[in-house]
């Protein structure tokens, strides 16, 4: 059950008439941020107090009181913020201070948000546990466990802080849902193209989606409302804004809210892949939901079999070209070039500064698009994507929403993660990858605990049907 | 030179700068020539992380016009790809270009009676400019200027239909002329060509990035000779890439086939497909300007020019426009054509100048044509005034003629001069009557001297004959 | 069906193409890992027939996103060089490695 005073909307309403609320909340969150840093929880990649205080002063003197007035926002490191070191969790971008704000940052600032800090992540988003980087975030529920990835710092810090706060995450194959699930927060990934990618340091451009992480669906959807919409700087942007309706939590009519959600289905294939204890929590939630909506089962045999393969081919193919630009010139790590042939200089900088996982994915992606293999891997994977989207589309003819546990397990311990081979590691994304490959909007909602660790439920909607998702997310929150 | 049975196949890949105000995928200005290094860039063309490309609609329009002018099939659905290769001039280490489906497919260019097949024409970005501070090969590093990075290029690829370096040069000139009629070329830029060449069905050697038509011819001539010599020595020509060194007029190997890049083309996922509607295409088709071929036909018909003269005038867009402007002001097409194609072009040829290197004012030529029409100037003085106009102090032909008293003085009574000269030379008169034609020239020379050369020579001769008989 | 043997030589060649110089240890490790991923995952796509389908370049296909040909704000020279280290600046140019 969410209470009105837990929501960002409540805070913004207070802040608009009483600026001390903004100051208090900001001091609180800066204190917690620094505290988490001192404890080595590693949620924060970069933080510049001067830049934050400057924003506070600007707000104090501003007449415009926007939808996120005074709300501190953390941002996944891959999303560029002007003058704040942004390196997508990679050493090769150390020192890079972007000279422009990502469109989402611009939009958030226009609504009065305070851009607080960059959050830790797997290098370039390459990972499920935020362990493929130098600063590895630790799960607030158990420091021996992962926050999930790749937006791990965002998930971890959202769970950790007690202040009013929102986080902008990014998902390529599940990087918002996964940390939301592992950290027990709300993660909303929109339809591909709903939110501008301008200013996002690309992982895989045809898969990357910027989204919202918050305490609850009300907060996440408010952030989505602000950051979505038309942007001329991103050719793949759909030019559509996600609208929010006003609400009064005390008088919320759940049936009215969910009037468009009539029939939903659990994706059997993904469900079966999950651990017993995760299933138990999930089953309990489904039983509760049956009071409000008809729940059936559906099978997506092609997705369960082929989505991971197609996803990893597309993602690594695109990533390997994106990372070509990172070669030690113009920004980030740079060395003396005198006397070095360009092949040697580029190899030197790249070999010394990419992590193992980046190297593996660059090699896989370069391989998949090389002449001789390109037809069988890269081009075929794009056609397979069409087939897998079609499979989802036929399921949406019968169901408004599709459900599965977000992750097959609760957050694993770091010593367990170390033992995973790359192929086992990639398989951990089974439940989140298909919806991401298809560019479908999805929401991860916390639904309970197993072994004292949070469990998440993932809801998937058809393209641009975010409204059904958020209505359903609110239902879950109000009945729990 | 190459022996008779050497079969040469030359294919060209020509890069031309399109005349847009902003770059192909970002809104940086394109006035690179008058700008400081690295002062016309942005996150997109510098390859800064997070930046995204957005396609310039004007470049598509200009590219479509090029395709149509080259008789190509326009692919109404096309897209852009990433061609990945590492080089210090590529800000992203991939070039945004077109691979599977180019904007324009198969077409042709007529070269006399021969048709040179155009394989394709596509849009792509230009890399940055590199400076080798101590010369190519000697420098320890390069200096990079990203102003050029991202400029819109159209790449035009021919089939290997060209058979001699001269033909390749002629093709380039013809192509440039067509492009100038279209008004799609960025002013003050030259075409750059990659030349692919093979002899006797052997492997193809690519000579990269040659600027200028004369250089293309020289590089190809050298390369054919080199390949013939290699073959004579029993060596096989391997497929590889070379560079042309202008100073030594030779080609040098750049890299071997084994180390050639595997471009690993992928669709550029930051961009979306382009669909040119029928309506759009029809609109462009109807806005196509007159092309050289059409203009030649019209000039013959409208101005009663010979085919040869019309072709000469239309082989240069500016020249054909100059001709037409002068004629439209009321000058005789015949005389205007004579001034431009005979006098003017022969001076240019003599001084190895290009048309665009000289300043020609339409009024200056018009005034001159008018003087000729009213018979106030001799051929000799027309030539003299034009030489001065182009290579001398550049005063207009009319003022030059006036200043130097070279105009026919209508107050001079030519008849009485002729009579007085005949009377003063009775022997010459007799000799001519007895059949010695040469004495007529002697008498004419006397008359010309007295008129300070302003008289028309044929007129003088005519009058002499008339008075003697 | 792609018949491909993933050898150390192939991995080395692909890495070189991507300008990565691998140590012997990395080469050893990556070769077996990459082999697993390609054989167990990538090659799965052999089983599925997609001959009648169009490729999805993006999950939601869009067309004709253009920008008007209008020059807009761009970086000054100082701004273009702002993230460049001192050693790699020379008279307004950016120094790069040898290109011949
Ligand atoms: Mg090209
Ligand atoms: Zn630019």
Which is higher by pLDDT, A296 or B424?
A: A296
Task: State the catalytic residue, choosing from A36, A146, A167, A175.
Answer: A175
Give B2's pLDDT tier (boundaries 50, 70, 90): very low
B149 Cα to the center of ligand 1, angstroms: 14
Distance in Å, alpha carbon of A83 to nearest chain B alpha carbon? 14
**Dihedral over Cα of B257, B260, B265, B271: its sign:** negative
Query: What value does the mean pLDDT take over residues C45-59?
Result: 96
Distances in Å between the Cα of B460 and the Cα atoms of B414, B441, B445, B465 are 8, 10, 9, 9
Domain annotation covers residue C38: yes
pLDDT for B346 beyond 70: yes
Partner-chain contact C95 B58, CB within 8 Å: no
Which of A198, A340, A374 is the closest to B52 by Cβ? A198
Which ligand is located closest to the Cα atom of residue B193? 1
B317 Cα to the center of ligand 1, angstroms: 27
Q: What is the pLDDT of residues B172-227, one digit of tens each?
A: 999 999 999 999 999 989 999 999 999 998 899 999 989 989 999 999 999 999 99
Q: What is the pLDDT of residues A196-253, one digit of tens each?
A: 999 999 999 999 999 999 999 999 999 999 999 999 999 999 999 999 988 888 888 8
The pLDDT score that the predictor gives to residue C1 is 59
Structural domain span for residue C22: 8-47
Tokens of B101: 């489906």
The pLDDT score that the predictor gives to residue A305 is 97
Query: Distance between CA B459 and CA B451 in Å, rounded?
Result: 13
Which ligand is located closest to the Cα atom of residue B30? 2
The pLDDT score that the predictor gives to residue B321 is 96
Which ligand is located closest to the Cα atom of residue B42? 2
The pLDDT score that the predictor gives to residue B1 is 46
B54 Cα to the center of ligand 1, angstroms: 19
pLDDT for C93 beyond 70: yes
Strands ordered across the beta sheet of B129-131: B129-131, B141-145, C93-97, C89-90
pLDDT for B168 beyond 80: yes
pLDDT for B340 beyond 50: yes
The pLDDT score that the predictor gives to residue B257 is 56
Partner-chain contact B267 C57, CB within 8 Å: yes
B124 Cα to the center of ligand 1, angstroms: 7
Q: How much is the mean pLDDT over chain C?
A: 95
Which ligand is located closest to the Cα atom of residue B209? 1
Residue list, CB under 5 A from ion ligand 1 = B 155
B409 backbone φψ class: left, alpha, beta (φ>0; ψ -120 to 50): beta
Closest alpha carbon to A285 in A457, A471, A162, A43? A457
Give A345's pLDDT tier (boundaries 50, 70, 90): very high
Does domain A4-259+402-479 sit in CATH 3.90.1300.10?
yes
- Our CA angle for B122, B128, B131, nearest 5°, is 135
DSSP state of A133: S
Domain annotation covers residue C80: no
Active site residue A130: no
Put simply, the chain A residues between 166 and 205 with a CB less than 8 A from any chain B CB are: 197-202, 204-205
Partner-chain contact B59 C81, CB within 8 Å: no
Query: Distance between CA C53 and CA B213 in Å, rounded?
Result: 46
The pLDDT score that the predictor gives to residue B352 is 83
Residue of B nearest to C74 (CA): B42
pLDDT for B130 beyond 80: yes
Task: State the catalytic residue, choosing from A36, A46, A67, A76.
Answer: A76
Cβ–Cβ < 8 Å for A323, B93: no
Q: Kindly list the residues from chain C whose CB atom is less than 8 angstroms away from the CB atom of residue B89.
A: 99
Query: What value does the mean pLDDT take over residues B395-407?
Result: 88
Which residue's structure tokens are 């609110």? A474
Tokens of B330: 């009321």
Distance in Å, alpha carbon of C5 to nearest chain A alpha carbon? 12
Task: Please check whether residue A320 touches B, CB under 8 A.
Answer: yes
Q: How much is the mean pLDDT over chain A?
A: 97
Distance in Å, alpha carbon of C32 to nearest chain A alpha carbon? 10
Phi and psi, residue A260, nearest 5°: -90, -5
Which of B51, B265, B271 is the closest to A369 by Cβ? B265
Active site residue A175: yes
Partner-chain contact C63 B28, CB within 8 Å: no
Parallel, antiparallel, or unpaired for β B81-84 and C66-67?
Answer: unpaired
Active site residue A76: yes
Which of C17, C62, C90 is the closest to B143 by Cβ? C90
Give B256's pLDDT tier (boundaries 50, 70, 90): low
> In chain A, pLDDT over 90 holds for what percent of residues?
95
The pLDDT score that the predictor gives to residue A374 is 95
Task: Please check whether residue C84 touches B, CB under 8 A.
Answer: no
Residue of A nearest to B38 (CA): A330
pLDDT for B259 beyond 60: no
The pLDDT score that the predictor gives to residue B457 is 80
Put simply, the chain A residues between 363 and 402 with a CB less than 8 A from any chain B CB are: 366, 369-371, 374, 378, 382
Query: What value does the mean pLDDT take over residues C11-27?
Result: 97
Q: Kindly list the residues from chain C whose CB atom is less than 8 angstroms away from the CB atom of residue A302.
A: 48
Partner-chain contact A330 B88, CB within 8 Å: no
The pLDDT score that the predictor gives to residue C63 is 96
Burial class of A43 by CB neighbour count within 10 A (0 to 12, 13 to 18, 19+)? buried
pLDDT for B27 beyond 80: yes
Which of C14, C33, C88 is the closest to A366 by Cβ? C14
Query: Distance between CA B387 and CA B382 in Å, rounded?
Result: 9
Q: What is the pLDDT of residues A123-156, one digit of tens each?
A: 999 999 999 999 999 999 999 999 999 999 999 9
Partner-chain contact C18 A362, CB within 8 Å: yes
Query: Distance between CA C81 and CA B373 in Å, rounded?
Result: 63
Q: How far is CA B323 from the centre of its chain?
A: 17
Distance in Å, alpha carbon of B319 to nearest chain C alpha carbon? 30
Tokens of C27: 């080469």
Q: What is the pLDDT of residues B362-383, one digit of tens each?
A: 999 999 999 999 888 888 889 9
Distance in Å, alpha carbon of A18 to nearest chain C alpha carbon? 38
Query: Distance between CA B24 and CA A354 in Å, rounded?
Result: 31
Give C74's pLDDT tier (boundaries 50, 70, 90): very high
Q: Which chains touch A (3 or more CB pairs under 8 A)?
A: B, C
Which of A331, A351, A383 is the closest to C20 by Cβ? A351
Tokens of C84: 């460049």
The pLDDT score that the predictor gives to residue C100 is 73
Q: What is the pLDDT of residues B141-166, one digit of tens each?
A: 999 999 999 999 999 999 999 999 99
A197 Cα to the center of ligand 2, angstroms: 18
User: Which of B22, B28, B48, B49 should one mutate to test binding to chain A, selecting the residue with the greatest count of A CBs within 10 A?
Assistant: B49
Name all domains of chain B by residue range, CATH numbers in brackets.
Answer: 8-284 (no CATH), 292-403 (no CATH), 414-468 (1.10.10.410)
Residue of A nearest to B145 (CA): A330
The pLDDT score that the predictor gives to residue B449 is 83
Closest alpha carbon to A236 in B212, B232, B54, B410? B54
Which of A428-456 are b and which e, b meaning 16 or more Cβ less than 10 Å from the residue's Cβ?
bbbbbbbbbbbbbbbbbbbbbebeebbbb
Cβ–Cβ < 8 Å for B295, B320: yes
C19 Cα to the center of ligand 1, angstroms: 22
Provide the domain count of chain C.
1
> In chain C, pLDDT over 70 holds for what percent of residues?
98
Q: What is the pLDDT of residues A72-121, one digit of tens each?
A: 999 999 999 999 999 999 999 999 999 999 999 999 999 999 999 999 99
Which of C33, C41, C97 is the closest to A312 by Cβ? C41
């Amino acid at each position: 059950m969410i209470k009105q005073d837990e929501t960002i909307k409540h805070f913004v309403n207070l802040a608009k008439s009483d600026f001390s609320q903004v100051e208090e909340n900001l001091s609180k969150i800066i204190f917690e941020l620094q505290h988490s840093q001192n404890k080595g929880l590693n949620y924060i990649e970069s933080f510049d107090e001067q830049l934050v205080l400057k924003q506070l002063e600007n707000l104090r003197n501003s007449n415009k009181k926007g939808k996120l007035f005074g709300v501190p926002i953390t941002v996944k490191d891959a999303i560029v913020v002007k003058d704040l070191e942004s390196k997508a969790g990679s050493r090769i971008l150390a020192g890079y201070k972007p000279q422009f704000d990502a469109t989402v940052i611009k939009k958030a600032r226009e609504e009065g948000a305070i851009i607080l800090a960059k959050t830790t992540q797997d290098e370039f988003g390459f990972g499920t546990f935020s362990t493929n980087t130098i600063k590895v975030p630790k799960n607030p529920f158990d420091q021996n466990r992962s926050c999930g990835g790749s937006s791990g710092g965002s998930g971890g810090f959202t769970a950790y802080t007690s202040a009013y706060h929102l986080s902008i995450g990014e998902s390529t194959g599940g990087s918002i849902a996964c940390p939301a699930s592992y950290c027990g927060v709300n993660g909303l990934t929109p339809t591909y193209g709903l939110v501008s990618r301008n200013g996002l340091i690309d992982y895989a451009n045809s898969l990357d989606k910027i989204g919202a992480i918050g305490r609850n669906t009300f907060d996440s959807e408010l952030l989505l409302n602000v950051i979505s919409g038309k942007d001329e700087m991103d050719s793949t942007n759909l030019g559509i804004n996600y609208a929010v309706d006003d609400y009064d939590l005390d008088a919320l009519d759940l049936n009215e809210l969910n009037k468009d959600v009539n029939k939903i289905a659990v994706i059997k294939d993904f469900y079966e892949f999950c651990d017993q204890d995760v299933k138990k929590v999930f089953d309990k939630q489904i039983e509760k939901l049956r009071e409000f909506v008809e729940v059936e089962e559906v099978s997506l045999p092609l997705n369960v079999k082929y989505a991971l393969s197609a996803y990893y081919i597309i993602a690594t193919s695109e990533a390997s070209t994106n990372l070509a630009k990172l070669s030690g010139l113009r920004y980030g790590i740079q060395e003396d070039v005198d006397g070095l042939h360009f092949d040697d200089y580029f190899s030197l900088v790249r070999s010394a500064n990419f992590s193992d996982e980046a190297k593996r994915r660059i090699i896989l992606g370069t391989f998949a698009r090389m002449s001789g293999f390109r037809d069988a891997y890269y081009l075929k994977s794009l056609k397979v994507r069409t087939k897998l989207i079609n499979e989802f589309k036929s399921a949406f003819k019968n169901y408004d929403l599709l459900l599965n546990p977000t992750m097959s397990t609760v957050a694993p311990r770091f010593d367990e993660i170390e033992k995973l081979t790359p192929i086992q590691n990639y398989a951990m994304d089974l439940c989140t990858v298909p919806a991401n490959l298809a560019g479908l909007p999805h929401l991860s909602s916390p639904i309970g605990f197993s072994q004292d660790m949070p469990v998440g439920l993932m809801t998937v909607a058809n393209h641009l049907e975010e409204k059904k998702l958020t209505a359903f997310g609110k239902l879950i929150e109000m009945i729990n | 030179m190459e022996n008779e049975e050497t079969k040469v196949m030359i294919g060209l890949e020509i890069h031309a700068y399109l005349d847009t105000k902003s770059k192909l995928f970002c809104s940086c200005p394109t006035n690179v020539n008058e700008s400081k290094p690295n002062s016309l860039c942005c996150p997109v063309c510098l390859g800064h992380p997070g930046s995204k490309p957005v396609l310039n609609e004007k470049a598509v329009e200009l590219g479509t016009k090029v395709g149509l002018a080259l008789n190509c099939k326009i692919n109404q659905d096309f897209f852009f790809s990433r061609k990945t290769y590492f080089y210090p001039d590529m800000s992203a280490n991939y070039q945004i270009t077109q691979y599977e489906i180019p904007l324009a497919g198969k077409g042709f260019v007529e070269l006399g009676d021969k048709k040179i097949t155009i394989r394709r024409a596509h849009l792509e970005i230009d890399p940055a400019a590199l400076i080798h501070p101590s010369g190519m090969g000697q420098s320890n590093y390069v200096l990079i200027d990203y102003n050029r990075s991202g400029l819109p290029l159209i790449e035009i690829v021919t089939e290997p239909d060209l058979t001699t370096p001269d033909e390749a040069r002629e093709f380039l000139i013809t192509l440039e002329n067509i492009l100038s009629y279209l008004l799609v070329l960025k002013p003050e830029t030259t075409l750059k060509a990659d030349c692919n060449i093979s002899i006797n069905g052997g492997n193809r050697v690519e000579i990269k990035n040659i600027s200028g038509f004369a250089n293309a011819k020289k590089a190809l001539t050298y390369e054919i000779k080199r390949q013939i010599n290699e073959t004579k020595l029993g060596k096989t020509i391997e497929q590889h890439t070379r560079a042309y060194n202008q100073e030594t007029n030779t080609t040098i190997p750049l890299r071997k086939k084994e180390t050639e890049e595997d471009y690993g083309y992928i669709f550029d996922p930051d961009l979306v497909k382009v669909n040119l509607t029928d309506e759009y295409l029809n609109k462009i088709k109807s806005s196509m300007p007159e092309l050289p071929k059409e203009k030649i036909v019209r000039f013959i018909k409208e101005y009663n020019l010979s085919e040869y003269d019309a072709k000469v005038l239309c082989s240069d867009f500016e020249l054909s426009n100059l001709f037409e402007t002068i004629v439209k002001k009321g000058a005789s097409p015949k005389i205007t054509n004579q001034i431009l194609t005979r006098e003017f072009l022969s001076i240019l040829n003599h001084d190895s100048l290009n048309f665009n290197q000289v300043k020609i004012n339409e009024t200056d030529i018009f005034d001159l044509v008018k003087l000729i029409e009213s018979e106030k100037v001799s051929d000799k003085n027309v030539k003299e005034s034009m030489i001065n106009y182009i290579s001398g102090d550049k005063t207009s032909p009319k003022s030059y003629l006036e200043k130097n008293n070279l105009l026919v003085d209508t107050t001079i009574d030519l008849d009485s001069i002729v009579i007085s000269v005949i009377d003063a030379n009775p022997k010459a008169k007799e000799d001519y009557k007895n059949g010695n034609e040469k004495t007529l020239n002697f008498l004419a020379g006397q008359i010309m001297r007295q008129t300070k050369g302003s008289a028309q020579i044929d007129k003088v001769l005519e009058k002499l004959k008339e008075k003697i008989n | 069906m792609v018949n491909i043997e993933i050898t150390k030589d192939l991995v080395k060649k692909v890495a070189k193409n991507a300008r990565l110089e691998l140590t012997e240890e990395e080469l050893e490790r990556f070769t077996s890992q990459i082999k697993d991923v390609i054989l167990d995952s990538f090659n799965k796509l052999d089983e599925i027939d997609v001959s009648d389908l169009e490729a999805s370049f993006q999950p939601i296909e869009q067309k004709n996103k253009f920008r008007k040909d209008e020059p807009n704000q761009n970086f000054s020279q100082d701004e273009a060089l702002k993230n460049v280290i001192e050693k790699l600046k020379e008279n307004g140019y950016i120094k790069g490695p040898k290109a011949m």
